Structure 1
Amino acid sequence: MTDRNAPNASPAGISSGRSQAASAGAHLALGDRYVAALNAQIKGAGGEGKSARTRAKLKRAAFDCLTESDLASLTIGSVTGKAKVAAGTFYLHFDSIRDLVLEVFSEFAAVDIAPAIPEGDEFVDLFSQMKATFIEIVGAFRRRRMFFRSLFQMKRQDAEANAVWLRLTAQWAEILSAIARDHAKQPVPSAFDRFIGHATSAFADEIMTRIYVDEIFGAAFPDDPRNDEHVAELLAFTRHRMLFGSDPDPKLLTANSPLNGFSYPAKRS
C-alpha cells in the first residue's frame, strides 16, 4: 500500500519547499531549485513528518541516480541504496520505479521548467529578456544533461510523462504567441498566431536537445559553461526573428558575438 497521503508528496508541497530553500536569499538557478526543495523537505524545514521526509529522500536519490546515469540503469536497489533506507521502504511510498520517476519528472517540471516560461517584460527590450531566460535554461541543460536525457527518453515512451511535457509546452506556446501578437507591426492570420508559439518553442527544445543530449558539437562543447551565453544569444536571436520577423538592435549583442554584422532590426515607422 503506497503512502499516497504523505505530506508534501505533491508538487504543491514541493513548491513550499522551494520557498523555504529560496528564503536564504541566494538566487537558485533553474535546474537546482527542485533539489533545494527536496533537501528542505528531507530536513523537515516545513514540519514534515518521517514519512514525508523518507519519500523526499527517495525522490532525491532517484534524481541523483538519473543525473549520474541513464533511465535504464535506475532500480529500486540503486534508489534505496543511495537514499540509505531499507529496500522494503520503497513500497510504502511507490508501487514501481515508473511511479517514482514520473513523480520526480512532474515535480521537476513544475519547479525547474515552468519558471522559465516568460511572465512579462522585465527588461527594456524583448531580446534581452529572451536572452536572460535562455542563459538560465541553457545552464540548466548543461548541468543536468543526463537527467534531461532520461526525461526525454521517458516522455517518448510513457504517455503520462509526455502529457506533463505537453502541458508545459502548450503554456509556453500560448504565451509566446501572445508576445508575438502584442508586438506585431501588422495583423497576422489567426492560424499563424497559434502556430508561431509552438514553432518557436519546439525549435528551442529540439536544438538544445541536439546540443546537450545528442552532442552534435561534440562532448566538450556542452560541458563548457563559457558557451552558455553564446548558445543563449543564438537562441534569443532566432526566436526574435521567428516571433517578430526582424532582428534585435545590434547594440544589444555582445561585443564578440558571431551575429554582429548580421542583425537587421525592423525599420522605425
Structure 2
Amino acid sequence: MKHARIRYQGEVHAVTVEADNAVRLADGRLLPEQQVEWLPPATGNMFALGLNYADHAAELAFTPPTEPLAFVKSVGTYTGHNQVSWRPDNVAYMHYECELVAVIGKPARNVKREDALKYLAGYTVCNDYAIRDYLENYYRPNLRVKNRDATTPVGPWIVDVADVPDAGNLTLRTWINGELKQQGSTKDMIFDIPYLIEYLSSFMTLQPGDMIATGTPEGLADVVPGDEVVVEVEGVGRLVNRIVSEAEFFALNRQEA
C-alpha cells in the first residue's frame, strides 16, 4: 500500500494512493494526481549518506568510506512531487542525486541488523540536489550544499515494507527532460539499510518519520532552470520536479505568502 500527504482546498490530508496515482481521502473521495498538491510524505529528520555507492565514489576519484558518512538535512530543505526546486544564480554545476529513502516507523534505539526492518514504516524516494561549487569536502558536505530551502524533493508516497521484498536489489534511474542520464542499483550500496539502522540507532534514537537517504550511484549531470527532472526507484516511486531560477523561485514564494 502507498501512503501520502497532500494539500487539497487548503487542507492537509493523509491519503492512500490507488491506480493511476489517484488519491483517496478519508471521506472516500477519489482525486486525480493533478488536482492535489503533493507534500513530502514524512517530515522527520533526514540522515543522508555521502559516497554510499562504490561506483559513485570512483566517479569522483574517492576511496570508498569504511564507515557511513552521514549528515543531517533540515525539514526546510524538503519539497514535494510535482513541485519546483531552484538553481542559485552564478553557480557552475548543480546536480541531482536519485536516492532510495528508508522511513522509520517506530522509535529505534540499539537495534540489531537482523531486526532493523521491523522498525521501518516503508520506503520513499528523494532527489538530493547538490551545488558542486559550494562543496568543501565530499567526506563532510557543508550546509550550503545540502541544506538549501526546497532543494530536496521527497515522495511522492511511502510504500509499505512488505511491498518491497528486496530493497537491496532495486534499479534507480534519473531523466532530464525525458533523456535517461543515470542508472544504477541499490545492490551497489556500500552500507545497506539494515546496517545503517543498526549504526545510527547505536548512538541516537531514531523517531517515527525520520528518514535515511541512502546515497546515489554514478551518472551525475548538470541541471539548469527549465529542466524537468524525474528520479525513480523501482517498485517504490517516480518523483518529478522542475528547476527554476533563483529569482523565479523567490518570486513564487512571495506570491504564495
Does TM-score exceed 0.5, indicating one fold?
Answer: no
Normalising by structure 2, report the TM-score: 0.27
Normalising by structure 1, report the TM-score: 0.26
Indicate the structure (1 or 2) with the bigger Cα radius of gyration: 1
Question: Greater relative contact order: 1 or 2 (C-alpha under 8 angstroms, separation 6 or more)?
Answer: 2
Structure that is richer in helix per residue: 1
Structure that is richer in strand per residue: 2
